[in-house]
Structure 1
Amino acid sequence: MNTASKPDVVILSSVHSALDVRIFYKQARSLADAGYKVTLIARHDKNEIKDKVNIIGLSMPKNRFQRMIAQTFRAFRLALNQNAVVYHFHDPELIPIGLILKFLGKKVIYDVHEDYQASIYTKDWLPSLIRTTVSNLFDWLEKKSSQKFNYIITATDHISKRFGNIKNIVLHNYPIIENGNNEFGCQKSKGEYTIIYAGGLARIRGIREIAESIGHINDRLHVKLKLLGKFSDRDFETQIRSLAEFDKIELSYVPYTEVFSHLLSAHVGLAMFHPVPNHIDSMPNKLFEYMSAGLPIIASDFPLWKQIVEGNKCGITVDPMNPKAIAEAIEYLLERPELMNEMGENGRKAVLEKYSWQKESEKLIKIYSDILNVK
């Protein structure tokens, strides 16, 4: 089958932004570059064609109920209007839609970003007494439904194992290596150190512990913390802004395409996720993005993260719940510039050799070829 005859694909998400890194920058663009006509239905402020991907925007829901009911129904209606051959969805709440599409004769792919069954235990809006029951029920429903789909894509090996013999493959969240991030063209400031965290600013991602750690660092080092992301909880944002350490914190948000330049101007990258079930076996984008930028890393001391960070000699791991331990790790690195450079180079080398999106992209295209019998 030639490029011109490749079928239409619809990518669906009622939860994520249309410009989500995994969904748009990695998967949708890779499929479009391979010749598929890709339509992406997800949260966006307008309809537009970007990088050969047709984006149909969903409005931001006012509450969880509207997202899970009204938004899901609208996404389904828009998806049906496309009459595509392949439907690739990214949220567990879209499982019923996936089943209907499969019943209608469509090829359906379920992309699993997280261990949702485990994440239910951290949902504050669910009464704690019923979380185990809800988790077990969801686990059964997800696995039973997934048997009907053409393929399951997971973000980590841990999630993949949950699906057992159900046809699935892991597409890791490795960084995209393009011309824009092959060279180090940005100078780091002298006389002041920038410690950076890039990503969602949430309590369980260790933002408070990171912020409080700055207060434990010796003033002679002149450390500034840059938090590059958005708060999802206004009350939590207020708490962070009220901290005594806030005068040493810079809050900023930039599009994904500009994140790398901020990483290049920093000295150390932080990833201090709390040890909740859904984090311990995760492989967050930021670890590999820090490595791609040549940043030494300080990360949570989960076994898998320790294997990646310390195994590649590109950083150190500490207890993410201990601000003083985080501060000591920061001081340890800043006082050893040669070690920082060595760790940064090790991380960059590891990304170029084994943690880049290029090979994952090839696996994605093969999945589509397999379910469509394309040679």
Structure 2
Amino acid sequence: MTFQVTAALAAASMIALAGCSSLQTSRPDGVGSLAVAEVGSFHTGGRTVSLEGLPIKQVRFTPTSPLTRLDPNGEFAVEQMYTQYVKLAPQARRAPYPLLMWHGGGLSGVTWETKPDGQPGWQMFFLKAGHDVYVSDAVERGRASWARYPEVFNSEPVFRTKKEAWELFRIGPPDSYQDAAHQRAYADTQFPVAAFDQFMKQGVPRWLTNDDATARAYDALVQRICPCVIMVHSQGSTFAYTMANRYPDKVKAVIGIEPSGAVDPATVDLSPLAKVPLLFVWGDKISQTARWQSIQAPLKKMIAAVRDKGGRADEIDLPGKGIIGNTHMMMMDHNSDQVAALIQDWLVAQGLAAR
């Protein structure tokens, strides 16, 4: 039976129909295979809110349906987080703990799935490396859904322009994007530039006032799944380091893919975090980008504080290793498997994976 593992619902249906405990799967191009035991999903976190005093309307739910009374007053479930998982069959599993993949700002769990150019992403890479993989959509993102503004979310959503993504993610230098017809990428960029518009379709609204709700949902996820290893990208990093500092017995390692949020050692005791192996992976041209130097500086401060407490905080500087052109979205870059292999080697060295 051949199918793509990231098609979670279709996969789950086929497993159920097969009535078997595991399912051998293969890529359409015939490269590699997976023995999958279970594909599924769940929500964590969230709360119930009650709304009242909102106007009642008459609406049509489909073009041909009759007018229906819509009453927006009552109880709602809000601030939940979504997680999809793929569990390997025991004979295929080569990691003692599941790998949790947490995305960055204005993005969702799609970050880790099929790349914008159609090639397999890191979800598939690490499944094939023997990890059970859990990919989340945080509060307000993707399949986690969002809530009414301003009744529940008390600030308006923000959206990322193509220009901001192009330049912030270091696909091209500052002022290198005007519009789709006038864009200039770095000559050595590893990002699949022809798939940039496809990548931008992954963008979702983001609120700047939901960190507490998001932290509670991640806490509930850690309580449900861990012990685990967390791989986190960009804005999601603050939550990962906070969880590791809170639960060093549950979080066995944190892999920061260009993290953009740190825990400040001036205000938080990082002694627990020093018990958790940390890896930081940095792409190219950070030293040439003032904004990224300012983003990186608090992380460097946290790394130094963890090391001062005797903790392990390793860094992979890709250009320092002669690997040139990687962007902030290195899990989507042409050489993403090369970068993932370095991370897998680190996990093996920590006893958190086997070859």
What TM-score do you get using the length of structure 2 for normalisation?
Answer: 0.31
RCO comparison, higher one (Cα < 8 Å, 6+)? 2
What TM-score do you get using the length of structure 1 for normalisation?
Answer: 0.30
